[in-house]
Amino acid sequence: MIKGDQEIKMRSLNTTKLLGIILGWSLLLTMSGLASAQSQDKDKVELKIQLPKPMFVGTPRNIKTPNLEPITGKPRGPFYVPAGTQLVSLNKPVTSSDRQPVIGELSYLTDGEKSGEDGYFVELGPGPQWVQIDLKEPYLIQAIVIWHYHSQARVYRDVVVQVSEDKDFINGVVTLFNNDHDNTLGLGAGRDREYIETYEGKLIDGRGTKARYVRLWSNGNTSNDMNHYVEVEVYGLPVK
């Protein structure tokens, strides 16, 4: 009888001890997790993006598309990048699946002009098209900001953003964004949402991926079958 009691006591003592150890460890793990998150944030700075003048106000409601992200009507909010991140795409060469744009020039993509007015966008032919920026050397890509066309609320279809060190995008291709949910382009079905173009542009997380080339796909939009770009900005860190 006494022996049994002792056994129970011993067992409960062991359980208490064990719980204490587990709690201690989880606390330690949580603390070290917090510490590493804090030290990460300390090295990060807010990405400053020069935005063009807004061309329309209010919340568009007439857009019908199957995979649209919720419209908040609020500004994007800050995006943090490692200190030393620079705009690395300005005036860099641009190529495209459409070598003869319908309107404008491919160089408009990286000329720093983001106005939504006529005369600032390049128009590529109908259906699936890509544009590609050559950064001339590899960078650790932190963010890509895309302005397709922002003088009217519209959604571009099958937006896919890929980066690579291979100019032909055969080897080492990393997909950073893909909202082609039904795999129209054949690059794989994407899980990102469709979005309405605004003067803020669409910011895509580069996740520090090392790459020299950025390729962007689209496949017409909710207003017409054509593909447009006002500007694309790539922000990166030099590879040490």
Q: Does residue 115 belong to the site contacting Ca ion (CB under 5 A)? A: no
Q: Does residue 192 belong to the site contacting Ca ion (CB under 5 A)? A: no
Residues touching Ca ion, count (CB under 5 A): 8
- In whole angstroms, how large is the CA radius of gyration of the chain? 25
Q: Per-residue x/- mask for Ca ion, residues 166 to 185, rule CB under 5 A? A: --------------x-x-x-
Q: Determine the interface stretch with Ca ion among 56-64, 83-91, 105-113, 191-199 (rule: CB under 5 A).
A: 105-113
What is the closest distance, in whole angstroms, from the C-beta atom of residue 176 to Ca ion in the complex?
17
Q: Which residues, at least 6 apart from 150, have a Cβ–Cβ distance to it below 8 Å?
A: 52, 54, 55, 116, 197, 198, 199, 201, 230
Q: Does residue 113 belong to the site contacting Ca ion (CB under 5 A)? A: yes
Q: Which of 158, 193, 188 lies closest to 175 in space, CA to CA?
A: 188
Question: What is the spatial distance between Cα 21 and Cα 16, in angstroms, rounded to a whole number?
Answer: 9
Question: What is the spatial distance between Cα 227 and Cα 240, in angstroms, rounded to a whole number?
Answer: 36
Question: What is the spatial distance between Cα 225 and Cα 28, in angstroms, rounded to a whole number?
Answer: 56
Residue 32 DSSP one-character state: H
Q: Does residue 123 belong to the site contacting Ca ion (CB under 5 A)? A: no
Rule CB under 5 A: choose which of 89, 108, 146, 204 binds Ca ion.
108
Rule CB under 5 A: choose which of 49, 51, 79, 111 binds Ca ion.
111
Q: Do residues 105 and 124 make contact, with C-beta atoms less than 8 angstroms apart?
A: no
Q: Per-residue x/- mask for Ca ion, residues 210 to 239, rule CB under 5 A? A: ---------------------x--------
Query: Interface residues with Ca ion (CB under 5 A)?
Result: 108, 111, 113, 158, 180, 182, 184, 231
